[in-house]
Structure 1
Amino acid sequence: MDQILGQVLRNAVWERLDMLSDLADQADAASLVSVARSELPRLTDGWRAMLRAHEPDERGDCPTCSTRWHRCKAPCSVWQVAHEHLVAGGLAPQQNVRPGRRRAPEPAMQQETVPPARQAPLPRRVPAAETTGRHALVAASAR
């Protein structure tokens, strides 16, 4: 059940990101201003909350990425990705993310930043109410 709930939450986030990307691509100027005023504060608050969880502790380790047996030194992959997309993004060469949307992660970052569920989704059986939308919980071949 936790696995299904986790997938539902992930799918909702991917759907929201896709919707915002579609708006950025297709909305008129007035709509873009309205969306920017409502969504930019939410997105920046979300980034801040996530980055606060990954602030280094007194030893310079990321408390969220570290485990009992493996310490993750700062900056962790979350901070590296944040810097890449928020600061260096204008300088770094970008692959076109549209129309297929999500690009494959960079090879050096794949192991740390991509959860296993995003690397190779497995077909799952779920109740019919959760099988709609682009990010449904069933494999594409089952549709």
Structure 2
Amino acid sequence: MDQILGQVLRNAVWERLDMLSDLADRADAPALISVARSELPRLTAGWRAMLAAHEPDERGDCPTCSTRWHRCKAPCSVWQVAHEHLVAGGLAPQQETRRARRHSAVSPTHDGNTSPARTRPVPEQTGRHSLVPPPAPRHAVAGGLRA
């Protein structure tokens, strides 16, 4: 049940981001001003809440990204992505994050070589972000990867 709720939550967030991107690409100036006035405060509040959860503790570790067995030193990947997108912007060279690499992972071919993963068609009845997760890659590591 938690997986389904989590997927519904993620889908709602992805859909919202898609809608905002579409508005930024296609809306006229008055609509953009209206959206900016309503959405920018919400987006900045969201970034602030997320970054507060990743604020380093007294040892300099990120309490959210750290586990009992692996300490994650600050700045964690969340702070790095925040800096890249909010401060450095288009001026910094775009480094591919582990999460982006994982989403554009390579899949083994029949001869054992690797090739870029093919995009899967999204079922029409569930919208752009399917409730059914895609099958795990054949070369996935047990236990998953940390972002």
Q: Distance in 2 between matches of 1:63 and 1:46?
A: 18
Structure 2, unmatched stretches of 5+, are 106-124, 135-147
Q: Distance in 2 between matches of 1:15 and 1:72?
A: 30
Q: Which residue number in structure 2 is paired with residue 135 of structure 1?
A: 129
Give the Å deviation of 1:77. 0.4
- Bigger fraction of residues in strand: 2
Q: Secondary structure at the match of 1:80?
A: helix
Q: Distance in 1 between matches of 2:39 and 2:87?
A: 19
Q: Does 1:72 align with 2:78?
A: no
Residue 79 to residue 33, structure 1, CA distance change in 2 (3 Å): same
State the AA in 2 paired with 1:136.
S
For each residue in 1:20-55, what CA deviation from the matched residue of structure 2 results, as whole angstroms up to 9, or x when unmatched?
000000000000000000000000000000000000
Q: Which residue number in structure 2 is paired with residue 35 of structure 1?
A: 35
- Bigger fraction of residues in helix: 1
- Percent identical across equivalent pairs? 84
State the AA in 2 paired with 1:83.
H
TM-score, normalised to structure 2's length? 0.70
Alpha-carbon RMSD across the aligned residues, in angstroms, is 2.2
State the AA in 2 paired with 1:44.
T
Q: Which residue number in structure 2 is paired with residue 22 of structure 1?
A: 22
Query: How many residues align structurally?
Result: 114
TM-score, normalised to structure 1's length? 0.72
Residue 11 to residue 91, structure 1, CA distance change in 2 (3 Å): same
Q: Which residue number in structure 1 is paired with residue 116 of structure 2?
A: none
Q: Distance in 2 between matches of 1:54 and 1:68?
A: 16
